[in-house]
């Protein structure tokens, strides 16, 4: 098994067949809808809130609302639908989460997407929740995770998941590999490749994206969608608190399994960081789209499909050469 991560890989260019990068099509069909780019902000409390979810849905981007405003999720689905927007929520696996599914079903508020979001998603608790949602809300597109192995992907797909989310511990606010010794941190891209080969349905590569080029690399190795936290954390629209230090502006970004999210220091597997403030998220999304259009041109194609079969080389520890943007 070859083990590598984003910084160890370079994609190999093919002859360009378009006259302008604007001709390259970055759209992706994911579940019942098509989105502008194959990118989704992480379903974390410092990355997405209701206002940003509305803006993303109105502007052709996928979003997944986090699950930490527990009592508001039912109202959130209703609010999105009242505005003619799609609803995409997260759930956990505890008993009260089953009550939410029952309530949505009883009142016929059916979100388009539900993501089952727990740390160790290769578990009977997740399999049971997938089955419950599929039985009680049969039209919903169910994303389940997180997993880091082909076996995990297959079991969740077999239980009925429509997509699986891959990544155990590669996130920037993550300390899982330090606290437990487990995970895909340091070999996340290779894990995405292994999982995608086993998958018969779409996968989301989750965590470890540090540069826009990593989105193209994720697509090359089989992801249909890429989930990103830290690269989005510093924006005006993301909900992290603004902090000023030595005249410089930062925003807070904390893990969903950090004490800041949990309110207590128990089973902590996440930390808090300060991320430089960087203006509006619309500019970052626009730049991601432009960079992806450029990637498609280097792949010698017109759409994301060209990226999926491009050659690559493994250049361990050498390609960045100390470079930074
Ligand atoms: N992608 C990643 O690498 C990681 C992501 N996270 C994020 O942090 C948030 C909190 O996650 P999580 O702690 O799972 O959520 P919860 O605290 O809601 O836990 C969900 C349920 O799973 C149980 N559980 C959690 N971890 C384990 C485990 N290792 N073995 C057995 N049972 C377990 C919990 O019980 P109990 O608490 O009693 O064990 C609880 O009943 C999520 O948003 C998750 O995505 C967290 C860590 C890693
Ligand atoms: N191990 C942990 N992982 C976490 C936690 N909170 C979120 N996450 C995961 O990180 C990604 C985002 O990664 P990034 O590299 O883009 O910043 C997110 O989608 C989760 O899967 C946590 O507390 N511990």
CB of 271 sitting under 6 A from ligand 1 = no
The tens place of each residue's pLDDT in the chain, 325 residues long, gives 778 999 999 999 999 999 999 999 999 999 999 999 999 999 999 999 999 999 999 999 999 999 999 999 999 999 999 999 999 999 999 999 999 999 999 999 999 999 999 999 999 999 999 999 999 999 999 999 999 999 999 999 999 999 999 999 999 999 999 999 999 999 999 999 999 999 999 999 999 999 999 999 999 999 999 999 999 999 999 998 999 999 999 999 999 999 999 999 999 999 999 999 999 999 999 999 999 999 999 999 999 999 999 999 998 765 555 555 5
What ipTM does the predicted assembly reach? Answer: 0.95
Q: DSSP strand E in 171-283: where? A: 203-206, 225-228, 242-245, 248-254, 272-276
Residue 66 CA: which ligand 1 atom is closest? Answer: 43
Secondary element (H or E) of residue 9? strand 9-11
From 117, 171, 269, 284, mutation site for ligand 2 pocket: most ligand atoms within 8 A of C-beta: 171
Q: Whose CA is nearest to atom 10 of ligand 1?
A: 257
Is residue 209 marked as binding? Answer: yes
Provide the β-strand partners of residue 314: 9
Query: Is the pTM value of this prediction over 0.95?
Result: yes
Residue in 239, 171, 177 with CA at minimum distance from that of residue 206: 171
Regarding the beta carbon of 218 and ligand 1, being less than 6 Å apart is answered no
- Taking the CA of 179 as reference, the closest ligand is 2
Catalytic choice (28, 65, 140, 174): 174
Q: Does 213 belong to an annotated binding site?
A: yes
Question: For tokens 């083990």, what's the residue?
Answer: 3
DSSP string computed for 37-90: SSEEE-SSTTT--HHHHHHHHHTT------SSSGGGHHHHHHHHHHTT---EEE
């Amino acid at each position: 098994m070859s083990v590598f991560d984003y910084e160890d890989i370079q994609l190999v260019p093919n002859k360009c067949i378009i006259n302008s990068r604007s001709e390259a099509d970055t759209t992706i069909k994911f579940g019942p809808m098509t989105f502008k780019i194959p990118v989704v902000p992480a379903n974390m409390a410092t990355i997405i809130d209701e206002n940003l979810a509305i803006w993303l849905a109105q502007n052709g981007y996928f979003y997944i609302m986090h699950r930490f405003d527990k009592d508001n999720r039912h109202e959130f689905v209703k609010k999105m639908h009242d505005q003619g927007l799609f609803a995409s929520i997260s759930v956990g696996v505890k008993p009260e989460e089953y009550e939410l599914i029952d309530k949505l079903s009883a009142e016929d508020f059916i979100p388009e997407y539900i993501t089952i979001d727990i740390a160790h998603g290769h578990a009977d608790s997740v399999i049971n929740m997938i089955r419950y949602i599929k039985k009680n809300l049969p039209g919903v597109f169910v994303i389940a995770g997180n997993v880091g192995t082909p076996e995990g992907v297959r079991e969740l797909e077999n239980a009925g998941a429509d997509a699986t989310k891959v990544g155990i511990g590669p996130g920037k606010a993550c300390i899982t590999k330090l606290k437990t010794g487990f995970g895909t941190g340091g070999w996340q891209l290779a894990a995405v490749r292994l999982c995608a080969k086993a998958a018969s349905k779409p996968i989301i590569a989750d965590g470890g994206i540090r540069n826009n080029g990593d989105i193209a690399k994720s697509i090359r190795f089989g992801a249909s969608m890429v989930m990103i936290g830290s690269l989005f954390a510093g924006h005006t629209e993301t909900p992290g608190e603004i902090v000023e230090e030595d005249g410089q502006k930062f925003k807070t970004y904390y893990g969903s399994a950090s004490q800041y999210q949990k309110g207590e220091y128990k089973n902590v597997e996440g930390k808090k960081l300060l991320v430089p403030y960087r203006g509006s998220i619309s500019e970052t999304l626009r730049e991601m789209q432009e960079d992806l259009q450029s990637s498609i041109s280097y792949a010698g194609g017109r759409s994301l499909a060209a990226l999926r079969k491009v050659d690559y080389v493994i250049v361990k520890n050498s390609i960045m050469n100390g470079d930074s943007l």
